[in-house]
Amino acid sequence: MQKFPIKGFSEGILISIGEGDWKDIQSDLLQQIDSESTFFNQAKIAVDIGERELRAAQISRLRDALLDREVKLFAVLSGSKKSESNAATLGLATRSSLLEKKESRLSTAIQDGEPGLVIVKTVRGGAEINYDGHVIIMGDLNAGANIQCTGSVFIWLKLRGIVHAGIEGREDVVVCAMQFNPIRLRIAKIEYKDNKLIRKLRKKPLKIRLEQERFVLDYWDS
């Protein structure tokens, strides 16, 4: 279970950090990133530190520790003017500077008014994504990668890994991909087993949904 919630937005990944001793917080954050190293590899992240005041040296140490893990810290979001000022002196973006560009760039992806996680890269084998909401992949889901979410899954290139949408039993979700060749696919408690049909149509954009506990395949054109 993730200690720090993550969300996707147009610039990369947003990690929200709650209250607590900063040294402990930083240690826990780095442990979470280490435990999901495949997912975070080459990622660009912003951290929302709330009202916490951080010195430039503290922000710099976090940035260096992330760089050692091939993760780029590009923004620090805070309600503290001092923290934002210190982040800006290090060349990092802040809530104010991002809002000046476009406020909507910080918004969570929305599908039917519900939260979603946007990942703007290919998800490599070995990565595991668990999310309370919809998941959108702007790339491939490689073989060996695993998505489990309470909402729908949208993959804008190839689906070659494992997908379980509607993990809490929700049946009004869909799985969409430009090309289908999954290792395993489930919606709610039902597993899709007609792999021959998927293989026949694997180069077509498809949308798979449940209707009265039976799978329905449609072309993904809307």
- For 67, the 3-state DSSP assignment is helix
Asked if the structure places residue 1 within a domain, the reply is no
**pLDDT score recorded for residue 213:** 87
Last residue of a domain, one of 80, 106, 132: 106
Last residue of a domain, one of 77, 106, 135: 106
Asked if the structure places residue 159 within a domain, the reply is yes
**pLDDT score recorded for residue 112:** 52
**Contact between 198 and 180 (Cβ < 8 Å):** yes
Same structural domain for residues 90 and 148? Answer: no
CATH classification of the domain holding 98: 3.30.70.260
Same structural domain for residues 131 and 190? Answer: yes
**pLDDT score recorded for residue 64:** 95
**pLDDT score recorded for residue 122:** 86
Q: What is the pTM of this model?
A: 0.52
- Residues in the chain predicted with pLDDT less than 50, given as ranges, are 1, 102-111, 222
Last residue of a domain, one of 106, 128, 152: 106
**pLDDT score recorded for residue 221:** 67
Same structural domain for residues 99 and 116? Answer: no
**pLDDT score recorded for residue 115:** 75
**pLDDT score recorded for residue 103:** 37
Domain hosting residue 156, numbered range: 109-219
| 132, two tokens | 């309370």
Same structural domain for residues 17 and 114? Answer: no
Counting beta carbons within 10 angstroms of the beta carbon of residue 92, is it exposed (0 to 12), middle (13 to 18) or buried (19 or more)?
buried
